[in-house]
Chain A
């Protein structure tokens, strides 16, 4: 009988196995890298209607996060302040005493502040863009976390160094569970250090004895982060 297939076709099974394995590895690696919130979400930095700088207010001026986000300790939702909060300082009345004449003039004409004052005068709110989005089927409670000793830093990073707020963590379910399974890496003692003191918190969490300290805190406060579905999906 004559052969109908050329000799090179003998390589097909081997080639299929090798290429198949290669394709499998490529697809798995691609999915592992690209199909994650770490790839799609981290770095989200929308342009805001007003160029408000956390770096200036929280960093340079050292204003506590809770001065504006007033209900973060009592409410599941961390509120974005209304323009009234801005006007506590930016009415132009009190500021004059602290600023030089030339600076004061610039301050009055600052287009961002013009927008804020306008909004305050008309009652039309500034439409801030939400940066940290959690799907509607997942519930996150700010007050529970803050009161347990999880700093703003653990989720939002060094927000006091950000001129424009950007997302620093993927905030996927794996990321949430990583902390719920090992909370000791992220707990600070609220009696010793304010959860809003991001610089100190960062250094503390990076220190070698953090796990030990965190475990003691978890023990002391009876912290048992839930891992059941109903904890977040309700």
Chain B
């Protein structure tokens, strides 16, 4: 086969064979290839950079999807309910929660740890998988990073409100004050403030910086349509003409041009910009990498540094980190699977192979968590400490046995189904398991916190149960999370456009060279169908 001539390539590029990666039971969308000599394609049905830009920007520029407004209203209402609960707590005091002696930490810390843990997937995908050159991450990293930011916001709410007197929450930080006292630097609770604060800052910078070229793309596309009026309002339902007053014309494109223009900070797609961008991206990836491991280690110190049986164990940091990545990937799947089904063309980027890879990570980290659960029991027996063994017997067979078994089933047994190919390729089933894992990880934190109910003295044992305010505040935090997430889906680029372009065959100058191999879909080899010869390797702009 000879090298394609440029004109020939352009001509061939006009024909878009959509059946190229035909669906079948083995490879699903054509990406689950077991042959190691072939690389699975990372982007399907998009032949040019322009196609990719069109699809991803289209989700923002097209009419609001019909499901979006009801979903947003529901989430926003739940978020409002959570806010009311928080206000009620602030006005009345922490007595509205189920906190008691000896369980002085209740759902607030459970929810905090759960949310922070969920946030870990974003950094893992954007930093560690970036450094490991896992190119399949490009289609999910923006999504996961956004999820990280929103999860950390939800997490940060709980320590802020559980101090009781929220107007004193500034005392969490070491600020010089007229009481001449500092927070206790020996306390992991203060380390938590630094760990989570750093994590949030770095994640936010990473997310925003990575988004700048894509925001500039959106800006340029909006500038091209500036001045065009768009009709917005509720759907025109028959028999409800009174709703017509709410239908108005707005210069959405002009508003978008200024909005994305402001956020893109003067990005012009110059080579100098890209050089700086790539450097900054790599630097932030390097900075974030230790954070993936450190943040949840520090969170685990909240428990491990105390001298309570069931908490005072060295296994806590690695076990928390594994659990965090476990729950984070589950949450990414929980959000990704509906989005993938609802947004046209998203399946071409988030391929069956990407989902399968995430399932494998869930099985890996779930097994690590399971190992930790079993090891805790082994050490409780092997350590021959009466209090420790008593605590673990009570954990599994005491008053909270149901929480322990819910946790064990959801976290240890359920992810093992992904050893079977059917389980990790069936999208609906994966969605179900991802929710089961999220529930399990919540129970894990509950099991750890409820350990407080029985310490050294049986005389001071108690039974903790949450109040309605506890439960509704937690539900409200889910609402805050979903509200932010839906806003992200609607107004910001859900996929990293420029990064996705980088992993397409067209971005590789040698993608269509003839080396005499079988036609490959990516990397070396030629599919002989389309593409431009000698395309510049830099990721393209938005035009």
Contact = CB atoms under 8 A, between A and B. Distances in A.
Interface of A: 1-2, 4-5, 10, 13, 32, 35-38, 170, 172-174, 177-178
Interface residues of B, number: 16
B298 to A, nearest CB: 25
B257 A35 contact: no
A174 B180 contact: yes
Interface in B245-270: 257-258, 261-262, 265-266
Given A1-B220, A4-B226, A10 B178 contact: no
Contact of B181 (A10, A32, A38, A177): A177
Contacts of A36: 178
B313 to A, nearest CB: 30
Interface string B275-305: 0000000000000000000000000000000
Interface in B157-183: 176-181
B181 A4 contact: no
15 contacts: A1-B224, A4-B223, A4-B226, A4-B261, A5-B258, A5-B261, A5-B266, A173-B178, A173-B179, A173-B180, A173-B181, A174-B177, A174-B178, A177-B181, A178-B180
B261 A10 contact: no
B256 to A, nearest CB: 11
The 7 A-B residue pairs whose C-beta atoms are closest, nearest first, are A174-B180, A173-B179, A36-B178, A177-B180, A172-B178, A174-B178, A4-B261
B515 to A, nearest CB: 40
A38 B179 CA distance: 12
Contacts of A1: 220, 223-224
Interface of B: 176-181, 220, 223-224, 226, 257-258, 261-262, 265-266
A38 B266 CA distance: 49
B258 A4 contact: yes
Contacts of B258: 4-5
Nearest to B226: A4
A22 B94 CA distance: 37
Contacts of A177: 179-181
B183 to A, nearest CB: 13
Contacts of A10: 266
A177 B177 CA distance: 12
Contacts of B262: 5
Q: Which of A4, A170, A172 has the most CB of B within 10 A?
A: A4
A127 to B, nearest CB: 31
A225 to B, nearest CB: 14
Nearest to A170: B178
Given A1-B220, A2-B223, A4-B258, A37 B178 contact: yes
A173 B265 CA distance: 47
A13 B178 contact: no
Contact of A4 (B176, B178, B257, B265): B257
A173 B181 CA distance: 9
